Structure 1
Amino acid sequence: MDFDLTDEQSMLKDSLDRLLKDSYGFEQRRKHMADPAGYSAEMWNAYAEMGLMALPFAEEDGGLAGTPVETMIVMESLGRALALEPYFATVILGGGALKAAGSSDQKAELIPQIADGSLKLALAHTERNSRYDLHHVETQATKDGDGWRLTGQKSVVLHGEAADRLIVVARTGGDIRDENGIGLFLIDANADGVTRRGYATQDGSRAAEISLDNVAAEALGAPENGLPALRKVVDGAIAPLAAESIGVMSAMNELTVDYLKMRKQFGVPIGAFQVLQHKAVDMYVAIEQARSITLYATMMADSDDAEARAQAMHAAKAEIGRGGRIVGENAIQLHGGVGMTMEYAVGHYFKRMTMIDTQFGDSDFHLRALARGEGLFKAA
């Protein structure tokens, strides 16, 4: 199988890497983080001008008909730069929900706005007691004429404070852990009854706690059977998240190798010591293993075989979590005391890697799920 990028894909990667290198240094990132929005509006507009927002959507919906490979390229570059903009929240999660469950009218209205950068979305699915279970939903949806009304609480909504619209997972019937009676609903983030409390996350990004009190909503797809669509959205998001982790780990590895060449002890660079070389090799091997499973997850991201797709994402999440710990812990250790400071980049990369590990389930959670499904490839 040919894993080489096409000319167009190479151009996309080179163009985005140049933009981020010129405009997203470590000090510049700190300035973006200090902005009230928590990211750079100028960079957000630049992404839109490059067509990144339109990339995953079909041409008939106003997109560029990109494949998961193009999304993988974008996310790896954003990970390497530790970019703060809500690309993942808006395009991958919110846009993924529109693709999976939205009507043709909803897509026609919203996707062009995503593509030009004028609309930001957030997916509100996590609740205080839900852990990693997508089917644990306490937020209630009640019918109100042709529409719906939502009441409940959502937690850790990525970029929920900056979103113009929210896609909310709510229950139309059944007990709080039933797999039936779950729907996806679209609401105006500034509607009556919506309360948002934004805060900074450990990796420097933004999230929000959201309260809903009898908020007017419209359904995306079937309001009683939205769990399969939600699972498809999350599976489709894990592959780009894994790609982002490759960028994060690669940056940590490069910073560490450069430090080993520069830092001297006993009159020689510490990279001359064999035991530290072995640590650097462990980091490289972990990255390449994570890269391999990320490529497989990317190929499976659009699969209609829900079981095979889920197993691929379990495997990817388990491996990037394991690899991320190896790379991050070694990077911090090999940097010594400076690796723990806020003024040096490597610690920030490790924070982001830790957040990626916990998002949609940590490596242990996905390893157990993979084992329950008889592994990545079932025996004949």
Structure 2
Amino acid sequence: MQYQYNEEQTQIKDMFGKFVQDQYGYDRHLALCKSERGFSEDHWQRFAELGLLGLPFSESDGGLGVDGGFLMAIAEEFGRGLVLEPYIATVVLAGGLLARADNREMREALLPRVIAGEFKLCLAWEERASRGQPLTVSVTAKSNQAGDKIILNGQKIVVLGLAAADKVIVTAVSEEGCVNAYLLDPATVGVQIQGQTLVDGQRAGQFQLTEVEVSADAALFSDGNAELGLSDVVNEALLIMAADGLGAMDQLLALSVDYCKTRQQFGVPIATFQALQHRLADMMIACEKTRSLMWAAYQAQGSVEFGERVAMLKAQIGSAGRYVGQQAVQLHGGIGMTEELSVGAYFKRLTVIDLLCGNRDDQLTYLAQLQTQRALAAA
């Protein structure tokens, strides 16, 4: 059983952590948030040079074929550095589904370019009714009379990395009632895109599909069924997002401890006040509870319990992230509300992580439904 990073994972975590410290100062973060693209293309190319873009992909696809622990390790550093590059969008979500596709020609054509940093993808799966459940799909995919085209209709929301993506993978339900995924050029006629800047500076978007035509060979899965792969990919992305959030929480705790040691009141550091020590201790407990659930979810990868443990983790990151963020802002006083201090930026990051892919309440609802189903089955 693994409940902490092994030696190799720690090495890559430390390596990328040093890169983040050198390249991701808070002033740089603010500048990137206000830039046109919202991230650094130079940083993306460095990711490719460091091998980060190929970590989860098999050696046959040109990657390194490592497990999710390596992605968790670098994601914690993403959270610490408030990294804005669309790694989760391109590598974990879209790349993860493409790597599972049985459309070999598409996979062989695109994955090496993704790994080399030459090509960016995003996965459009969230809808207004999905509430974190990727198989709740209303976008439709119908074949034309000749059978050589697929007609897509519907709407997708909060598509991470849409602005930077060269191509989009869209999930849709076929006439047979199966969920499949299709590769789409965002410039295709009938695609209406509305860009979004999330509160933490990340770029996303939503789009409307109106009689959008793609070729039949744009389908990722020849049997028309992407459901298992899609569920696995979203759950793995939630695990990586949670690691990102944990990195942000750890950084907020460290910033708060340092501030309490230096800020003086009545001639002594406020860290000597017992009430504030209790707050810092509670923040640490919230971080450690999240860490424990993260490793519990990691252990369940590939099992039937993975989705349930990820839902528990996502609910925890929502509540713990909010608590740690609120406490950090309060401990820093009025300056904690200002943009010139990074505390607010970390709190925004945690807020976005909670809202993406089904928030805390959505995950708790899902868990309650699972318990109800088990109770009925046992009755």
TM-based fold match above 0.5: yes
Shift of 1:60: 0.5
Shift of 1:9: 2.0
Describe the SS at the equivalent of 2:163: coil
How many residue pairs get matched?
370
> Where does residue 196 of structure 1 map in the other structure?
193
Name the CA shift for 1:7/1:226 in 2 (closer, same or farther; >3 Å). Answer: closer
> Where does residue 164 of structure 1 map in the other structure?
166
Q: What is the 5 A alignment of 1:168-317?
A: 168-173=170-175, 180-213=177-210, 214-217=212-215, 218-222=218-222, 224-301=224-301, 303=302, 305=303, 307-317=304-314
> Where does residue 33 of structure 1 map in the other structure?
33
Amino acid at match of 1:65: G
- Contact kept? 1:184, 1:223, Cα under 8 Å: no
Question: Are 1:112 and 2:112 matched, yes or no?
Answer: yes
Amino acid at match of 2:21: K
CA-to-partner distance for each residue in 1:22-48, whole Å, 9 max, x for gaps?
010000111112221110111111111
Unaligned ranges ≥5, structure 2: none
Name the CA shift for 1:294/1:215 in 2 (closer, same or farther; >3 Å). Answer: same
Shift of 1:223: 6.3
- Contact kept? 1:318, 1:363, Cα under 8 Å: yes
CA-to-partner distance for each residue in 1:301-342, whole Å, 9 max, x for gaps?
3x0x3x311111111112222211221111111111111111
Question: What RMSD over aligned residues (CA atoms) do the two structures have, in Å?
Answer: 2.0
Question: Are 1:346 and 2:343 matched, yes or no?
Answer: yes
Unaligned ranges ≥5, structure 1: 175-179
- Contact kept? 2:134, 2:234, Cα under 8 Å: no
Describe the SS at the equivalent of 1:185: strand
> Where does residue 22 of structure 2 map in the other structure?
22
Describe the SS at the equivalent of 1:158: coil
Shift of 1:369: 2.1
Shift of 1:4: 4.7
Amino acid at match of 1:256: S
> Where does residue 72 of structure 1 map in the other structure?
72
Shift of 1:296: 1.7
- Contact kept? 1:62, 1:108, Cα under 8 Å: no
Amino acid at match of 1:234: V
Give the structure-2-normalised TM-score: 0.92
Name the CA shift for 1:102/1:82 in 2 (closer, same or farther; >3 Å). Answer: farther
Distance (Å, rounded) in 2 between the aligned partners of 1:102 and 1:82: 35
Shift of 1:132: 3.3
Distance (Å, rounded) in 2 between the aligned partners of 1:82 and 1:219: 34
Name the CA shift for 1:79/1:231 in 2 (closer, same or farther; >3 Å). Answer: same
Shift of 1:357: 1.0
- Contact kept? 2:308, 2:367, Cα under 8 Å: yes
CA-to-partner distance for each residue in 1:209-237, whole Å, 9 max, x for gaps?
21223231511115643333221111111
Distance (Å, rounded) in 2 between the aligned partners of 1:370 and 1:129: 17
Describe the SS at the equivalent of 2:137: coil
Amino acid at match of 2:75: M
Distance (Å, rounded) in 2 between the aligned partners of 1:369 and 1:4: 28
Question: Are 1:329 and 2:326 matched, yes or no?
Answer: yes
